[in-house]
Structure 1
Amino acid sequence: MTRTPAGNSRFRAVIGTAAVAALLLTGCSGGGSGSDSGSDGGTEASEENPVTIRFSWWGSDTRAALTEEAIAGFEKMHPEIDVEPEPSAFDGYFDRLATSTAAGDAPDVITLGGAYPLEYAARNALLPLSDVSEELDTSKFAPSILTNATYEDELYGLPTGANTISLVANPRIFEEAGVPLPDDDTWTWDDFVDIANEISEKAPEDAYGYESQPDDMDRVFIAQRGEPMYSEDGKLDVNASTMEEYWEMITELRDGGGMPSAELTSEVVAAAPEQTLMGQGRSAMMPAYSNQLATLAGASGDELVLLKFPGESEYERPGMTLLPSQYFTISAATEHPKESAMLIDYLLNSTEAGEIMLTDRGMPANPDIRTAISDKLDASQQAELEFIDDVDASAGEGLPPQPAGAGIHNDLTIRLESDVLFDRLTPAEAAQQWVDELTNAIGSV
């Protein structure tokens, strides 16, 4: 599915003024490090004619060490290719990249995230991966996770890892309340409310059935009803009636005791994982991203599990989908497109590299690599892997990326949900205000 930027302003706010200014200097159309682009451009490596390619990423010293170990494995397999690593701290990474790209000195293999693949693709700064299809296998990756790197029907990057929103559940609290864990393939939102209310009624006094956190449960609720949250042209595409229904459900949980009081909710909402009620071993269900499972389990001292959200088989489409952590892309100006593609293929599609990097850049997006590394993961990571495989098999199609200005979503949702819980706003009033404020935030960029 095509994901087309809705005007430059939408992405300029994402990438930052300085970075865009640098990009605009040249339009990022090439030049600098190579006179030709595409799979037949530049010089092809051979034993008689070795080549060097540059590879940039951000992250910790641990990531750098793991990546360089994987690079060494690639170079051993391909002695005609020398990979020059360019690790960096996250701060300033994208400004430096924009400057080097504008100067015609971009790395050959570039790590990007968020809206950057679309922005760079729109500026003709990235190589379409169809140009290197013989060197780079893209067939193993779920279409939903390729969304943020697909521009005008061309794929420009492959995801390094996968993640998904989930309901984290504490089986110990379910058992203490005498409530069985739900069948998360079939349960409904009505079932969810009933289960949460029953757990709060029957569990120990300081435990609750559900804990609200700003981890995009509303996005799943919205997507299940066929609304993609944002349209292709970067506008809010949600009816106020949907959010009204969502907050009516929240008031049912409050009134039925299925979630903490407004006062307690306001104390723990948006807290660090260890400080949430789930982290304290006091809530049976909480929305969180799948890669938070180990942290929450360690903090609570309980064996936690991941559940799919209610309603996944109840509505027009599943609301859950795989999300990318980062993308590996290739500069359009590279002199060595084939060799750059070979490096990405090795990093993302080879068991050797997968067993070195494991989950450092997220759970591998290639399901074959997830399977290959499973016996090297701890219990929480294995549970996350199995959950991601499950979601991968039934996920809805990828949604248009969040436009600039929509970064207020979580804070806005927390604030208006608090107003609903404290009866300062009705669900209908909060829903209309949510739509109005998000619309204005997006339109003001």
Structure 2
Amino acid sequence: MMRTRPLKVALLGCGVVGSEVARIMTTHADDLTARIGAPVELAGVAVRRPSKVREGIDPALITTDATALLKRGDIDVAIEVIGGIEPARTLITTAFEHGISVVSANKALLAQDGAALHAAAEQYGLDLYYEAAVAGAIPLVRPMRESLAGDKINRVMGIVNGTTNFILDKMDSTGAGYQEALDEATALGYAEADPTADVEGYDAAAKAAILAGIAFHTRVRLDDVYREGMTEVSAADFASAKRMGCTIKLLAILERAADGESVTARVHPAMIPLSHPLASVREAYNAVFVEAEAAGRLMFYGPGAGGSPTASAVLGDLVAVCRNKLAEATGPGESAYTQLPVSPMGDVVTRYHISLDVADKPGVLAQVATTFAEHGVSIDTVRQQGRPDGVGNEASLVVVTHRAPDASLSGTVEALRKLDTVRGVASIMRVEGE
């Protein structure tokens, strides 16, 4: 039976994503009604600049008082696409206090205060859905917390930021330097005027925290995620990667320890073999590789940002939440029963590619090899060559290690810097996906 009273939706924010959500709600109203089992109505749109023309949105719906919109008594679902911490956090809490379920795309807030928001949703018997907070249109959050709920996820590795993938892809395919590739990304609208959140890994780290919490049923905050940006990645790094049959990606990597007693979460650039599925992810696309005990290896791929893709994820959550409202039920909430500790980056075990500028004279290689051995880091391969810039009495030494703890590698690098024969450590790059 179709319910005649519409479910009323408050839209908090009407930027690129919010305006697209409003457009789809209007143009696909009949389809949404059929899928939900009741009409869904946009009841109000809270904005900061009411004078701005918003095509397709009834001006009578526009308000600058988001709190009053939530408190008016007839709202069923709030869609929060404001972003940032405040006022989003206060508005979501207000929504819960007034019996309103929430759909959010706010990765920063969920990474910082997800536990408190989940607790508030549970306290009031309401839903908190956030598929759009991670990887845009890619169905990822719901499959991990619902479809794989009966499985054990051991590792998640993925490209979760389209801007950085576009930049690195251009550096790889054209030989461009970092700044040149960033300028192109900015001109095409992939990078913000201030790209810091993307290129320094903050955006990816927030998404990593959310995914780690879902994957490992434990609370992982943004501060728990090791973060390293990609601004130091150079054309020389890509040349070295190609010689190894690799490319470079900014990866979010979440792992359960072998003994199952802890987890790690990290974001940093890494070399990955060209044979790995993530190596072929081009332009501004995202892809996430999930390794589960029973299901095996799964890959989720698609556009990770933009108004339409993100709005698609928001509307998917809206349909699910509205269905729950009609059934007088709620969907899955936070699952943090394991309460596993998050280990520091020093405990992570992986391989490394290290490029050194050294004196071009006998005995240097032996001295470097001894330093690695003294810190318990085993060398896999070494390549030595004269400096390409023609600088006399100097050589470039590239060392690829076997797997070793990050702490051991850090100690090795510090010791190498102190050697008289080492002029500088040109780059350090982790090697993943083998």
Q: TM-score, normalised by structure 2?
A: 0.31
- Which structure features the higher share of helix residues? 1
TM-score normalised by structure 1 residue count: 0.30
